Copies of this chain bind each other. A is one copy, B any other.
Amino acid sequence: MARIAIYDTTLRDGSQGEGINFSLQDKLLLTRKLDDMGIDYIEGGYPLSNPKDFEYFQQVRSLELKHAKIVAFGMTRRKNTHPAEDTCIKALMDANTPVVTIVGKTWDMQVREVIGATLEENLLMIGDSIKYLRDHGRRVFYDAEHFFDGYRHNPEYALQTLKAAEAAGAEVVILCDTNGGTMPETIAERVKLVRQHLSCEVGIHCHNDCDLAVANSLIAVAHGVTQVQGTINGIGERCGNVDLVSVVANLSIKYGYEVLQPSSVKRLTELSRYVYEVANMNFRNGQPYVGASAFAHKGGMHTHAVAKNPVSYEHIDPAQVGNERRILVSELSGQSTILAKTTKYAINQDRALMGKILTQVQDLENEGYEFEAAEASFDLLVKKAAGLYQPWFERMAYRVNIEAMSNNGDPITEATVKVRVGEQVQHTVSEGDGPVNALDAALRKALLPLYPKLASMKLVDYKVRVVNGRDGTAARVRVVIESGDADSVWGTVGVSENIIEASWLALVDSIEYKLFKDSGT
């Protein structure tokens, strides 16, 4: 069947989501991953909007991408300006990407009220901007903002804006349900109609405000759209953009369209979790296709029937999207993930050792560990299992004291640490803003005289989540620490019922990883 182009805007529209804030490094990491997955177009940002997006387009050029085209996003030129003098168009030119997406107004009310232009002027703004970019060698996609609302209010004008874009050389015209309020049958009808008026390709851009973004994207494809825009895990403003994970799975598995690379659909679960980790969001267990619960079976009858014949309660084989069946209570989880992770280690020929590592990782995951964002902790785990580990220091004791005087006063925190390094015992104390800060400070005080290179290491990020062990025991706290030095950044993880202990475990892994790294072992 036909190929549907997947256009990812996680880095731009996705970053508009509440609580989402990608660093430049995050954006580059995600770009590499999206390319690796076979995404066709990666919208990297809005170069005019902030220095980070500008810098992204400078740095992304040095990535050697296999398949994806990087796209810069921007608006039509302002009124009364020549494209060559327009700051946004200039920024798009400077971004120097093969493809540019221009967003323009479709809704007459918006033209008048938001940009204060005449309807005629807006058509010129669309046409001029696209033509200028085309004349300068860019492929241009045109995002028709608010197309469905605009069409409802003034169908004729809405179509005129699309025709202006096509006439100026837009390769694809994308119909945006910007407010996410359109019902599927309306999407279908409008797509059909637009295709009667345009001869260029048509795309769709949906938001999930009515819980219908996936259905709306699929019905648009059924009516001839060839490009779907969205974000991984559906992150984005308000209720989010359409979730490309669900879109890709449905298009490929349910309808047989060609999407991404042949092997990518099997990696959708990996992709989804990677993006959550980079965005510091919790996985959504019930997420269609890729959630940890998506193929989990609870309750005797289902479990029994699934054991007899999986199709009884599974609409697809979970392996088709890289996910796994989980029979709750007695489950085996993470196997494929871990196998995938260990292949990069030379030791993965040793079957007995591999088995040992798998068992350890599964046990730890049942306790609430996740190694997605804690490769350094995973590294240490492998070293320990393989007998390549030597401790750099030994914990003898720590103590954290939280003390509140008087009513409603903020507590004061002090930590002491006692560690042995070889023959030497170091015993130190420090205050801190909070317990982890105090522990970190005391531990550094103890180790710095012996390992002066630790001075170059700093805490980059500290993330805490309350997790429930999959084995139904008490809630635990998972602490993920990101540390860095001049050369690199690494993540470590600790889990315990006690947040202090969980933080300690992650801190110790971080320091040990740094010491191994510097010693070249």
Interface residues of A, Cβ cutoff 8 Å to B? 16-19, 109-110, 113-114, 146, 149, 178-181, 183-185, 208-212, 214-215, 218-219, 222, 234-235, 237-240, 243, 246, 249-250, 254-255, 284-289, 291-299, 302, 305, 308-309, 311-316, 328, 394-408, 410-411, 413, 434-435, 464-466, 468, 475, 497-501, 504
Contact = CB atoms under 8 A, between A and B. Distances in A.
- Which one of A210, A289, A295, A408 has the greatest number of beta carbons of chain B within 10 Å? A210
Given A179-B312, A401-B401, A404-B504, 13 more contacts: A16-B302, A183-B254, A209-B294, A209-B315, A210-B315, A214-B215, A238-B286, A399-B401, A399-B404, A400-B402, A402-B402, A435-B498, A466-B466
Nearest to A208: B288
A394 B405 CA distance: 11
A209 to B, nearest CB: 5
B316 A181 contact: yes
The 6 A-B pairs at the shortest CB distance, nearest first, are namely A181-B315, A215-B215, A211-B246, A211-B288, A211-B214, A179-B315
Given A179-B313, A215-B214, A315-B180, A239 B402 contact: no
B411 A405 contact: no
A411 B238 contact: no
B464 A16 contact: no
A97 to B, nearest CB: 22
A250 B402 contact: no
Contacts of A408: 395
- Which one of A218, A302, A394, A504 has the greatest number of beta carbons of chain B within 10 Å? A218
Contacts of A315: 179-181, 209-210
Contacts of A499: 499
Nearest to A391: B407
B464 A295 contact: no
Contact of A184 (B219, B285, B399, B468): B219
A188 to B, nearest CB: 10
A18 B243 contact: no
Given A215-B212, A293-B239, A499-B499, A308 B403 contact: no
Nearest to A243: B211
Nearest to A242: B211
Nearest to A463: B475
B466 A464 contact: yes
A146 B313 CA distance: 9
A387 to B, nearest CB: 18
A405 B410 contact: no
A296 B434 contact: no
Given A210-B288, A237-B299, A293-B238, A498 B434 contact: yes
A485 B420 CA distance: 50
A288 B209 contact: yes
Contacts of A500: 402, 411
A405 B397 contact: yes
Given A237-B298, A295-B238, A315-B180, A18 B394 contact: no
A370 B109 CA distance: 39
A114 B501 contact: no
A221 to B, nearest CB: 12
